[in-house]
Amino acid sequence: MHTAIFVFVCVSLCSVLWVCDGVKFGQLCKGNPNNRRRTSDRWGEGHYGAGRGNRRHQGLDIECRDGSTVYAPFDVTLVRKVIVYKDPEKKKTAINEGIQMRGEGLCFNLFYVRPDKTSGFVRKGARIGTMLPMQRVYPGITSHVHVQMCDRSNPTRYF
């Protein structure tokens, strides 16, 4: 009996890992059908692990114009609203929103997005919110949605 349970657990785990391994994010932002990544600007770089003073960037930045529609990258369940900055400076309150989602075996957050709703099921390509005004907070930055995995692992392989 223990062998049967072990085999079931192993097969289940492998199935989840296989599903996650083949996942690719669909279009996140209107005007950026290929999920073009933020590279480098006067505010820094958008790749996972980029330097941020005494810390490292724990997500991947996908270009998105301020005010653009943000889409579900695949069928997702909206989990909750996310507050990006724990103790924001007054100017950062303009971009201090996001949404946590689950889908395709992944849990991830999208930062700098005002969600239309914060719970329920959404189909791939459906509108989930609006890109917040990054230029108001960081003039000259390449405006972007920040994609951060719930476990803070590198999301790059999903793009």
Q: Which of 122, 158, 154, 159 is nearest to 48 (CA)?
A: 154
Q: Where are the alpha helices (DSSP H) in 22-125?
A: none
Query: Tokens 């990544």 belong to which residue?
Result: 37
Provide the 8-state DSSP code for 119: S
> So what's the pLDDT on residue 20?
59
Distance (Å, whole) CA 25 – CA 158: 6
Where in the chain are the domains? 40-158
Amino acid symbol at 128: I
Which CATH fold would you assign to the domain 40-158? Glucose Permease (Domain IIA) (2.70.70)
**pTM, whole model, 2 decimals?**
0.85
Q: What is the pLDDT of residues 37-69, one digit of tens each?
A: 999 999 999 999 999 889 999 999 999 999 999
Q: Which helix (H) or strand (E) holds 5?
A: helix 2-21
Question: Which three-class secondary structure state does DSSP give residue 37?
Answer: strand
Amino acid symbol at 13: L
Q: Which residues pair with 28 in a beta bridge?
A: none
Query: Tokens 């209107």 belong to which residue?
Result: 30
Q: What is the pLDDT of residues 63-112, one digit of tens each?
A: 999 999 999 999 999 999 999 998 878 889 999 999 999 999 999 999 99
